[in-house]
Structure 1
């Protein structure tokens, strides 16, 4: 497969917008695109132990309130995306929400939604928000669970722009009855 193509659903391969004909990467020119309201939601999971989940739920972690730290880290991550991901455009972020669903058994689901009014989407900002929040949460719990893991990061939904809106069903908690919202 050449560097400027991806697997296509039709008969012709789709062009990658961040790759020039010679195969080199470049920042896409979005100057002619229409400004629209755009939104994206992403999720990531932090898996740990039941004992750690009890500490997280009660704000009893040795380093302090793990969810508050992770929420701020996620918001900051979304705002810094273009500084972290080389080909992302800086965007005027209008809103970032970072929320958590706690499963008493062994996991935290992190959900971030990012909004803007601009010429390009905010999927990367939503992914950066959940990944930064997950990293901060991991940092807060690693002293009590060295085997914690970050898993299943993905975009759940997007809206706005030429390609329109789409969404996928969120993953189910391993123990939906034990779910606690924070």
Structure 2
């Protein structure tokens, strides 16, 4: 790892990184997560028959709200004035289950990877919460950063997982 850990000072004490002298640039991050479930559970969600209501709508809103609160959840994260957060949820019959993709964007001095990852994670948790009464065996997996752009460290694109996307 080039440069070491940015949140540790020379004696190993954790600190918030000082980004005051960094240039403001447009920064974007995209993250994903998967919720694997029984095929019947997926059908129930897609047809809108979950007892708790609109699973996909609630998960989308929860993910967006979570991105906006990332600095309250993850120690040492900077509060950001996000310019865009979106959460897309698509069925994947091959799992079977749902694939969550979250995008976060800011024009600022620090990246938005944690905001995108938080959005994807909380959207997946919300799907689980709203459908757990019928399928406690659902599995949340694959939470990962797909890509990021902007900032001094440059762009990043995750390598393929080997599974059909």
Query: TM-score, length-normalised on structure 1?
Result: 0.85
CA distance in 2, matches of 1:112, 1:84: 17
Q: Which residue of 2 aligns with 1:66?
A: 55
CA distance in 1, matches of 2:28, 2:118: 14
Aligned to 2:76, which of 65, 75, 87?
87
**Against the structure 1 CA distance between its residues 144 and 173, is the aligned structure 2 distance closer, same or farther, given a 3 Å change threshold?**
farther
Q: Which residue of 1 aligns with 2:10?
A: 21
CA distance in 2, matches of 1:170, 1:95: 25
Q: Which has the larger radius of gyration?
A: 1
**Against the structure 1 CA distance between its residues 66 and 79, is the aligned structure 2 distance closer, same or farther, given a 3 Å change threshold?**
same
- Alignment pair present for 1:121 and 2:117: no
1:1-182 equivalences under 5 Å are 8=1, 14-105=3-94, 106-169=96-159, 171=161
CA distance in 2, matches of 1:173, 1:144: 27
Name stretches of at least 5 consecutive residues in structure 2 with no aligned partner. Answer: none
Q: Which has the higher contact order (CA 8 A, sep 6+)?
A: 2
Root-mean-square deviation over aligned CA pairs: 1.6
Query: TM-score, length-normalised on structure 2?
Result: 0.94
Query: 1:93 is paired with a residue of what secondary structure?
Result: coil
Deviation at 1:166, TM superposition (A): 1.9
Q: Which residue of 2 aligns with 1:3?
A: none
- State the 4+ residue runs in structure 1 displaced beyond 3 angstroms: 169-174
Name stretches of at least 5 consecutive residues in structure 1 with no aligned partner. Answer: 1-7, 177-182
CA distance in 2, matches of 1:141, 1:57: 12
Q: Which of 47-56 and 98-107 deviates more?
A: 98-107
